[in-house]
A and B are shown apart, each in its own frame.
Chain A
């Protein structure tokens, strides 16, 4: 957006001031994530740039914290647990959430607002309260400190995202499509997989992504419901920051930033595909 030639000096000054302010805000958003990348290659256990690093002396850099991450059993166990728990929680949340969203989008759903409110409540209730409730109740029924308990808890936290994204794709869904399929002799199951699924798929996938990230990133409920055996990456990071802070955490953080970049690219591609399919934007 170039300035037209007739702008006054004042407007010109304001234009560049405004751009500078916005630039600073974007800097504030991104810089912290970028700074830790070089810091994670520090050769000494400090959280800051050493003189050697600033002089670009190769001795100031090392990959020892990455080696520590890939060899340390605490971290490797955490990675494995994170993936297992997030995987099962995502599958459960996606299946349950998609079904519920289909029900909620039907024309004759009774008590829609109330039911919707209850179904997305895990997203609204502060995590510490969910964690406290689950801790007491899961201890009572013997699920505290078990994989099943953690997976169930994370499924509950992930379902609202699936419900919301799938419901959103079903807005404006033409129900005559299912009737047309039925009138052409398709069974309900066949209609579901051949007509409904292709339409809601972008919503289901992005809901599943949200559920996965929720579980992968969740730490409050894990701190209460899991024990050391079910430790996940966030659990390990939290206790690492609390107890003995080592730059291994920075290495893990860098790896996770890379993972989120990939996730971002994936969701962006999904969004574009969805828009193209629904004819919202040309190519």
Chain B
């Protein structure tokens, strides 16, 4: 500020006499508030319609109020029971259990507790149904003998330990199930039985299939992106339409196409039989299995690979390759050592994008995946709609979400959200 002459006041002020700094801060604050005010409507909207629902669902993966609410007397009576003592709870606990059963039977809630506890230990559902039906006949002490006479499992310490363990308002048991672990009777954690271990393998299969699809997309997408990036604009625009048409076409339409093509009586099998490559009796099974999922999803996700690759390749000057050639590199060396390193950003962006979309895919595997080609999403939907084990669905969803968000952070590091392009 050398232009300021010695006789000006030390403090700069605006026309209305406020110090410049204060005035500037006020303007900045106002500008910030304006920006926030513009964003606020959408933010509030998404909070209510999207973010809160997701948070609510994630809460379900640890939420466990049912047992504590329905068996509230029993849980209270079990407070001073030492589960390590090797003795059954006292008469008071049994009396409380009978009262809870009678109330739960009336409110029709006791069955749900049975179903809930059945996730942890087989046979609990039938025990609760049976006890629920007969508990109203027990009217006087001694309750302990009466209950054990009703079903001798009430004399089993593990059943009581289970009730005590699941009486907490929050549980980790859904997450344990989601990684094929479980609480065993004494409260420690162990692997699930061999024949009930599905989820770790399922996560593994989801990651593996997503990886295969990503690699296939890269193998198919790289050459055509290169071709489009090197051709004159007019020709490459025409070719681009062939990439964008599937991109804009409904995903169910594309899945339907693959069903028509791949099924046993479908177009490809007919063609192969007609040409004579395969016999009429051994038509290929290409759908309702892993192959179907891989083919259809590669087709559906290929544009997501081509678009970022193309936009990166278009920025690489062709003179780089010519320079490499003129310096003595053969075409292969020039391509591998000069061109390919320049496309790494596009490869990274496309691959992560395809991978993120693939691991959360639901529709296509559900329609063409059969049993061997289904992914984690399909099991989430299964637990939501069929088995109604919502806690487990939420826990699986939370793990999937964590994986996607981690990949997304990686994507953001490589590409940046602001550079995300569409179409």
Contact = CB atoms under 8 A, between A and B. Distances in A.
Interface in A28-75: 28-30, 32-33, 35-36, 39, 46-49
A137 B53 contact: yes
A107 B46 CA distance: 23
B404 A100 contact: no
A193 interface: no
A25 B249 CA distance: 18
Contacts, number: 270
A8 B336 CA distance: 19
B146 interface: no
A181 interface: no
B157 interface: no
A90 interface: no
Contacts of B255: 241
A137 B421 contact: no
Contacts of A145: none
Given A25-B223, A129-B397, A132-B397, A124 B32 contact: no
A230 interface: no
Contacts of A121: 46, 50-51
Interface string A130-153: 101111111010000000000011
Nearest to A104: B39
Given A28-B220, A126-B360, A263 B248 contact: yes
B288 to A, nearest CB: 12
B254 A33 contact: yes
A119 B423 CA distance: 20
Nearest to A257: B249
Interface in B138-166: none
Contact of B39 (A25, A47, A103): A103
A129 B248 CA distance: 23
B423 A267 contact: yes
Given A33-B257, A106-B34, A119 B245 contact: no
A100 B40 CA distance: 7
Contacts of B380: 128-129, 132
A115 B39 contact: yes
Contact of A128 (B51, B52, B362): B362
Interface string B219-230: 011011001001
Given A32-B258, A206-B423, A241-B259, A260 B53 contact: no
A77 B408 CA distance: 38
Interface string B320-363: 00000000000100000000000000000000000010011111
B189 interface: no
A161 to B, nearest CB: 6
Interface size classification for chain A? 35 or more
Contact of A125 (B52, B54, B331, B394): B54
A250 interface: yes
Contact of A241 (B56, B267, B367): B367
Given A107-B31, A260-B250, A28 B299 contact: yes
B92 interface: no
A18 B227 CA distance: 9
B241 interface: yes
A253 B397 contact: no
B1 interface: no
B43 A48 contact: no
Contact of B253 (A99, A133, A253): A253
A257 B257 CA distance: 11
A212 B423 CA distance: 14
B32 A110 contact: yes
B232 interface: yes
Contact of B245 (A1, A36, A261): A261
Contacts of A237: 250, 252-253, 256
A29 B228 CA distance: 15
B253 A257 contact: yes
Interface string B22-56: 00000010011011111111110110011111111
A159 B43 CA distance: 10
A180 interface: no
B41 A39 contact: no
B401 interface: yes
Nearest to A253: B253
B184 interface: no
A206 B248 CA distance: 13
Contacts of B36: 103, 109-110
B224 A119 contact: no
Given A48-B267, A110-B36, A256-B249, A29 B362 contact: no
A32 B292 CA distance: 14
B390 to A, nearest CB: 7
Nearest to B332: A14
A206 B421 CA distance: 12
Contacts of B422: 161, 164-165, 206, 210
B377 interface: yes
Nearest to A213: B248
Contact of B42 (A96, A106, A217, A260): A96
A177 interface: no
B257 A130 contact: no
Nearest to B390: A136
Given A48-B270, A128-B377, A115 B254 contact: no
A130 B250 CA distance: 20
B293 to A, nearest CB: 15
B231 A1 contact: yes
Nearest to B360: A126
B49 A153 contact: yes
B43 A115 contact: yes
A26 B257 contact: no
27 contacts: A1-B232, A25-B223, A28-B220, A28-B299, A33-B253, A36-B256, A48-B265, A100-B43, A106-B34, A118-B51, A124-B356, A126-B359, A126-B400, A128-B380, A129-B380, A133-B57, A133-B58, A134-B49, A135-B384, A152-B49, A156-B49, A216-B250, A237-B252, A253-B252, A256-B249, A260-B250, A264-B241
Given A106-B35, A118-B46, A159-B42, 17 more contacts: A32-B299, A35-B260, A47-B259, A97-B42, A99-B39, A106-B34, A117-B412, A119-B46, A121-B51, A128-B400, A132-B57, A132-B380, A133-B58, A210-B423, A217-B252, A219-B252, A267-B248
Q: Which 7 A-B pairs have the closest CB atoms?
A: A126-B360, A103-B38, A137-B53, A133-B53, A32-B257, A103-B39, A133-B57
